[in-house]
Amino acid sequence: MANHKSAEKRMRQNERRNEVNRRNRSRLRTQIKALRAAIDAGDQTEAKTVLAATVSLLDKSIQKGVLHQNAAARHKSRLTTRVNQMSA
């Protein structure tokens, strides 16, 4: 437990930031699951529209510090490849 005023403030800040990060991470994971579901369903047009939204959300996650840039690039690459394989 915090004993100093500054430590108490730091705990409050950490709790707020933790909640924001949790929301952003949850939103991102939900979006990725939706894209994977569209890919598994075989709906190519749906997958392409969801892919655009997912890539946008991945880019926002980089800016917010939820994901590292390389991790987001890896996700985008793999998901885009799977969507592109649907048309082949």
- Kindly tell me the burial class for residue 62, based on how many C-beta atoms sit within 10 Å of its own C-beta (0-12, 13-18, 19 or more): middle
Fill in the DSSP letter of residue 65: T
Say whether pLDDT at 8 is over 90. yes
Asked if 51 contacts 83 with a C-beta cutoff of 8 angstroms, the reply is yes
The reported pTM is 0.84
User: Residue 87 has what pLDDT?
Assistant: 81
Structure tokens at 66: 């939820």
Q: Whole-angstrom distance between the N-terminal and C-terminal Cα of the chain? A: 58
pLDDT at 2: 79
Domain at 20, CATH number: 1.20.58.110
The number of angstroms, rounded, from the C-alpha of 47 to the middle of its chain's C-alpha atoms is: 17
Number of domains in the chain: 1
Average pLDDT over residues 39-65: 95
**What is the arithmetic mean of pLDDT over 23-50?**
95
Domain coverage including residue 52: 5-87
